[in-house]
Structure 1
Amino acid sequence: MEMLTLEKFEEASEVVKKVTTETKLVYSEYFSKQTGNRVFLKPENMQYTGAYKVRGAYYKISTLSPEAREKGLITASAGNHAQGVAYAAQIFGAKATIVMPTVTPLMKVNRTRSYGAEVELYGDVYDESCEHAYALAEENGYTMIHPFNDLDVATGQGTIAMEIIKELPTVDYILVPIGGGGLCTGVSVLAKMLNPKIKIIGVEPEGAACMKASLEAGHIVTLPSAKTIADGTAVKTPGDMLFPYIQENVDDIITIKDEELIVAFLDLMENHKMVAENSGLLTIAALRHMGVQNKKVVSIISGGNMDVITMSSVVQHGLFARSRIFTVSVLLPDKPGQLVNVASLIAKKNANVIRLDHNQFFSINRNDLVELRITLEAEGPEHKQELVEMLEKEGYRPKVVQPKGTYLS
């Protein structure tokens, strides 16, 4: 097995300084109080390309010969590695072709093109895009810059660990998102080199936990599908070159449900004014699953490239999940003044009406009852319960309406 060496990590740390923004640790009072640990965030979402991926891409390309760079570079990526390779190739003056899944958000496609790369959309998932990229590489003589299954790429990603430990030498735990395993390999190997006592916890989406499945089986496992809103970590097969390093250096893997990412987005945005994409939120959601206290924990926020349409959907779902917004159906006698009465009761409970839907066709007999659906802004679950109980007491027979398409049960 080819070795990842401290000398290579030190070299990479100096090389990537040319293209990275300094992402100093951010102490989180909010997450510290929530978890009983001292929580620090490593905000790689603040990189120029919006993610850590530029580290591995730039370092890998720096190791290539001028001839190889001149022939052209190619990669497959759902977005962040694509932008990292495109940006790094532009700096080196190299042509880059990026194969992206057809479902990649338009924002990521356009950002990749803005760095001068040629983008080809192919396949429904990353794995199909990657297979196509290898075919194009062989056909055209391009050098493949794999998004994770490459030790030079992993070395570049591992420079994050160097920065964390320099800034917080007494760190106890580092939480690392896992897709194919490049970031986790680099961070875990270097962290253990510098301090074997540091615990490395990988974090995967539950619907694409290929590394956890592989570790449990003792060999590389390919999942039948990779279904998750964390598209940057939607990988069916982890890197075989990386797997031995993960086996040796990762202490545990936590899997996260998609709905946990939704509320993690709200927590991060409201308390730190940071936008992180769903894959970047994995380590935020994992904070509540650690089962330790009084430890210094660093969560790597791997990226922040979330398109505004996805963002608006995540915010809405998050507000419903936290009972900050909810819809309740009440039944009213069809006579003047009833709407005013209901609105007055809601106002007395300090709730805000967002939307009203008045349905006079609820009953065949219009002189009987009509339905009023009220979407309210509340302070949380307790306030929501108070409002429902108040409407019940007043005889309006309230029924909380589940919004279509949410993750709520």
Structure 2
Amino acid sequence: MSKLLSVTYGDVVRAAAAIRGAVIETRFEQSRTLSKLLDAEIWLKFENLQFTASYKERGALNKLLSLTDAERASGVIAMSAGNHAQGVAYHAHRLGIPATIVMPAWTPTIKVENTRSHGAAVLLEGHTLEDASHFAVRYGAEHGLTFVHPFNDPAVIAGQGTVALEMLNATPDLDTLIVPIGGGGLISGMAVAAKAINPKIKVIGVEAQLYPSMLNAVKKSSLPVGGDTLAEGIAVTTPGDRTKSIIEALVDDILLVSEADIERAVALLINIEKTVVEGAGAAGLAALLAAKRLYKDRKIGLVLCGGNIDTRLLASVLTREMAREGRLSRLSIDLPDRPGQLARVSGLIGGAGANILEVYHQRIFTDVPAKGTELNLVIETRDRAHLEQVVSGLKAGGYAVLVKGSGSGAL
């Protein structure tokens, strides 16, 4: 392997020794509920519980520890949408190394502010990761700063591979690892370590359907790349050449996941595991939700690789998932414009055990007769069956009801 690839198992073992005590050896636990749901034995690596809420600390620290005294004194520069930025900023500050971080202009506010809070200078430049990267390289060269690449660096890859060492040390008989892919640093390092420990283990990569850049590179396909994804942490248009060569040699397959499956995975991890995971961190679970029949009865390790998600976006994901499940719905009801009608409708809904969250009338922009009104309600129900019960009760009471926003059209 050492002749073929830029990172060896020995590199990963040395990285583990170097960073020990400075990063958290995060929990690795079986999820009984997810295991039952997915007909497999599901183990979760909670890298979202690192101090900066991401595995990225591992590779960043290993790289920083490899610098010469002169490089440390001059300082470092990094480019990242957030997690690598925070890892570099935090450990550079801890080690007394000046750090400048370049982030794309669209980076979520929480990641920008968290990076600044670790003492780094933050520059917002470019509309894509590639734009930001080009700027960072130029700026670093002009100011004598060492560039800390987010994924295409042997020291960074080796540091990320320590995740697999911890997983397989805790549970040696795992037969499958499912790992998110952005630039490929995490899966590359993990594949090097895992295949050295157990050559028969399956290593499966996951990319957002909107950003199949590594799949295109490895399988010589030409799927479109780009768009707004919940998994911005893996929204990479150009993967690394070092990571590509490792993935070609050691990764067994690459799966693509839809935005809906990523949203569902984020919501499930909050509702079931009570843990906050960003879109990229939930990609592995999203892949299993979409293709669980392919992994039935396997013993699977998933990496929850990051937990930095904007709170407003998280709220949106959770409410959208409630709508998909039929727990949150909007009803449009044709109502005679007479006293007592709203109370009667409320009584029917409350009597069925549902909760009314919002109420408003529409008398002008509607097709109902002039003596009528369109009543719009947002209601909360236990599940889709309960929603159907509520709608049936309203129809039995003589009302025409249209359900909107329930996740599957009108009932």
TM range (shorter): over 0.9
Residues 1:97 and 1:307: Cα distance change in structure 2 (over 3 Å): same
Alignment of 1:2-401 (within 5 A): 2-217=5-220, 224-288=225-289, 289-290=291-292, 291-361=294-364, 368-401=371-404
SS of alignment partner, residue 207 of structure 1: coil
Q: Which runs of 5+ in 1 are unaligned?
A: none
In 2 relative to 1, CA 109–408 (structure 1 residues): closer, same or farther, beyond 3 Å?
Answer: farther
Deviations 1:49-87 (A, max 9, x none): 110000000001111111111111011000000000001
Share of identical aligned residues, percent? 37
The alpha-carbon deviation at position 362 of structure 1 amounts to 5.3
After TM superposition, the structure 1 stretch with the greater mean CA deviation from structure 2, 145-154 or 291-300, is 291-300
Segments of 4+ moved more than 6 angstroms: 406-409
**Which stretch of the first structure deviates more once superposed, 224-233 or 121-130?**
224-233
**1:384 CA drift (Å):** 1.9
Distance 1:193 1:225, change over 3 A: same
> Residues 320 and 363 from structure 1, CA distance in 2 versus in 1: closer, same or farther, beyond 3 angstroms?
closer
Which amino acid is the alignment partner of residue 327 of structure 1? R
Q: Does the CA contact (< 8 Å) of 1:45 and 1:302 recur in 2?
A: yes
Q: What is the CA deviation profile of residues 206-264 of structure 1, one whole-angstrom value per residue up to 9, with x for unaligned ones?
A: 0011111112208xx79653531211111001111111110111111111111212221
Task: Specify the code of the residue in structure 2 equivalent to 1:235.
Answer: V
SS at match of 2:161: helix
Alignment deviations for residues 274-296 of structure 1 (CA, whole Å, 9 cap, x no partner): 00011111112112214122111
**8 Å Cα contact 1:264/1:281 also seen in 2:** yes
* Alpha-carbon contact 1:75-1:146 (below 8 Å) kept: yes
How many angstroms does 1:14 deviate by?
Answer: 1.5
SS in 2 for 1:241: helix
User: 1:114: how far off?
Assistant: 1.1
Q: Could you tell me which amino acid in structure 2 is paired with residue 296 of structure 1? A: K
Alignment partner of 1:350: what SS? Answer: coil
Give the stretch that moved more between structures: 183-192 or 222-231.
222-231
**Is the CA contact 2:208–2:256 (under 8 Å) kept in the aligned structure 1?**
yes
CA–CA distance in 1 between the matches of 2:66 and 2:140?
A: 18
Q: Partners in 2 of 1:363 and 1:230 — Cα distance?
A: 39
In structure 2, relative to structure 1, the CA distance for the partners of 1:69 and 1:407 (3 Å cut) is farther
* Amino acid paired to 1:85: V
Kindly indicate whether the alpha-carbon contact (under 8 Å) linking 2:210 and 2:225 is maintained by their aligned counterparts in 1.
no
Native 8 Å contact 1:263 1:322 kept in 2: no
1:277 counterpart SS class = coil
- Deviation of the 1:2 alpha carbon: 4.7
- Deviation readout 1:158-205 (Å, 9 max, x if unpaired): 000000000000001111011000001000111001001111111111
Offset of residue 388 of structure 1: 2.3
Distance 2:357 2:385 in 1: 19
Q: How far apart are the structure 2 equivalents of 1:223 and 1:190?
A: 32
2: CA distance, partners of 1:30 / 1:157: 28
Amino acid at match of 2:99: A
| Aligned-partner Cα distance in 1 for 2:368–2:174 | 68
2:331–2:377 contact (8 Å) kept in structure 1: yes
Aligned residues: 405
TM-score by length of 2: 0.94
Supply the AA of the counterpart residue of 2:310: D
Contact 2:334 2:368 in 1 (8 A): no
Contact 1:269 1:275 in 2 (8 A): yes
The answer as to whether partners of 2:181 and 2:187 remain within 8 angstroms in 1 is yes
State whether residues 208 and 235 of structure 1, in contact with CA within 8 Å, keep that contact through their aligned partners in structure 2.
Answer: yes
Q: Is the 8 A contact 2:19 2:58 kept in 1?
A: yes
Q: State the 1:364 CA deviation.
A: 8.4
8 A contact 1:226–1:235 mirrored in 2: no
- CA 1:253–1:114 in structure 2 vs 1: closer, same or farther (change >3 Å)? same
Deviation digits for residues 326-361 of structure 1 (CA, Å, limit 9, x no counterpart) = 101001111111111111111222111111112233
In the TM superposition, what is the alpha-carbon distance from 1:297 to its structure 2 partner? 0.7
Q: Is the 8 A contact 1:35 1:287 kept in 2?
A: yes
Q: Give the TM-score normalised by the residue count of structure 1.
A: 0.94
Q: Which runs of 5+ in 2 are unaligned?
A: none
- C-alpha spacing 1:40/1:363, structure 2 compared with 1 (3 Å): closer
Paired letter, 1:277: E
| AA in 2 matched with 1:241 | R
* Residues 408 and 113 of structure 1: CA distance in aligned 2, closer, same or farther (over 3 Å): farther
Deviates more, 1:13-22 or 1:95-104: 13-22
Superposition RMSD in Å: 2.0
Tell me the CA shift for residue 367 of structure 1.
5.8
- Distance in 2, matches of 1:302 and 1:377, equals 32
